[in-house]
Amino acid sequence: MSARYHVIGNYLSPYVRKVLVVLETKGLGYTIDPIAPFVGDEEFTRLSPLRRIPVLIDGERVVNDSSVICQYLEERHPEVPLYPADIGDRAQARWLEEYADAYLGDVVIWGMFFQQGVKRFLFGEPTDEAVVRRAREEHLPRALDYLESLLPAEGFLFGAPSIADISIGSFFRNATYVRYQIDAQRWPRAAAFVERVFALPAFSRLATFEVSIMRTPLPEQRALLADLGAPLGEHPLRMGSPRRSMMRIE
């Protein structure tokens, strides 16, 4: 499959994962520069002024923000639709995508994944255990209570898998990487739903790359991904000294 698209962004980002799942599900060819935003050079800043990932490059066009990218891909490639046809369902799917990006992003990524992984291993800073505890014991249960009221007992939110399912699942994948498991007795629908999303072919394919680089230092990840057959681009951005991105990663 020829690669029309190029993605800048690390496999462990839920925002990048969302875009890659859309590309994979639609059968679109792509390459990836698996860089983390924290080490992107000035060329990365030029392409992504807020220093966020993912970035999608389509020829001369640069598209930023995961939600904008997914909508762009949907409109260019409506086959295998990932947004519901009904206007009300489509609005609800977009809301759940935003809810995942905003609330689950703050809780799972900044409250848990960043604190327990990126902050320690990349910046050499201690985990703020109070932040992690609030995220796990207060904020994420609040999200699960809400989702439990919406998620179906079987299948997906709008019949076929949609951007809403992909978005929610993308964040709970990161939660598993910091050893958070949904309590199936307290939230049975949410626990079963997340497992169904994880079993989607695109999620399963990407998991191979994600798990392999989890404990691999950033400078060594590209070589490992090459050995695993990841669709790497030929001209990667250079990595600079670690620095925090502007706002959150999305």
Angle of helix 87-99 relative to helix 163-177, nearest 10 degrees, comes to: 20
Q: pLDDT tens across 69-100, in order?
A: 999 999 999 999 999 999 999 999 999 999 99
Pull the structure tokens for residue 196.
């169904």
Give the confidence band of 219 by pLDDT, cuts at 50, 70, 90: confident
Q: Which of 184-193, 197-206, 230-239 is predicted with the least confidence, judged by mean pLDDT?
A: 230-239
| Percent composition of the chain: helix, strand, coil (DSSP 3-state, to 5) | 55, 10, 35
Q: Buried (b) or exposed (e) across 24-44, using 16+ Cβ within 10 A? A: bbbebebbbbbbbbbbbeeeb
CA distance 147 to 192: 12
Answer whether residue 65 shows pLDDT above 50: yes
Q: What is the pLDDT, as a whole number, of residue 244? A: 66
Q: What is the pLDDT, as a whole number, of residue 12? A: 96
Q: What is the pLDDT, as a whole number, of residue 245? A: 60
Pull the structure tokens for residue 78.
């409506």
Three-point CA angle 205, 81, 225, nearest 5°: 20
Share of residues in the chain with pLDDT > 90 (%): 83
Give the confidence band of 168 by pLDDT, cuts at 50, 70, 90: very high
Residue with tokens 């409506």: 78
List domains and CATH numbers for the chain: 5-81+203-228 (3.40.30.10), 87-201 (1.20.1050.10)
Q: pLDDT tens across 20-51, in order?
A: 999 999 999 999 999 987 888 899 999 999 99
CA distance 56 to 194: 26
How far is C-alpha 70 from the chain's CA centre? 12
CA distance 131 to 165: 27
Answer whether residue 248 shows pLDDT above 50: no
Q: What is the pLDDT, as a whole number, of residue 234? A: 92
Tell me what the mean pLDDT of segment 63-68 comes to: 98
Q: Beginning with the edge strand found earlier in the chain, give each strand of the sheet holding 5-8 in spatial order.
A: 30-33, 5-8, 55-58, 61-64
Give the confidence band of 250 by pLDDT, cuts at 50, 70, 90: very low
Q: What is the pLDDT, as a whole number, of residue 187? A: 98
What would the DSSP string read from start to end of 72-92?
A: HHHHH--SS--S-SSHHHHHH
Answer whether residue 108 shows pLDDT above 90: yes
Tell me what the mean pLDDT of segment 216-234 comes to: 94
Residue with tokens 């990663």: 249
Q: pLDDT tens across 44-59, in order?
A: 999 999 999 999 999 9
Give the confidence band of 120 by pLDDT, cuts at 50, 70, 90: confident
Share of residues in the chain with pLDDT > 70 (%): 97
Average pLDDT, the chain: 93
CA distance 40 to 26: 28
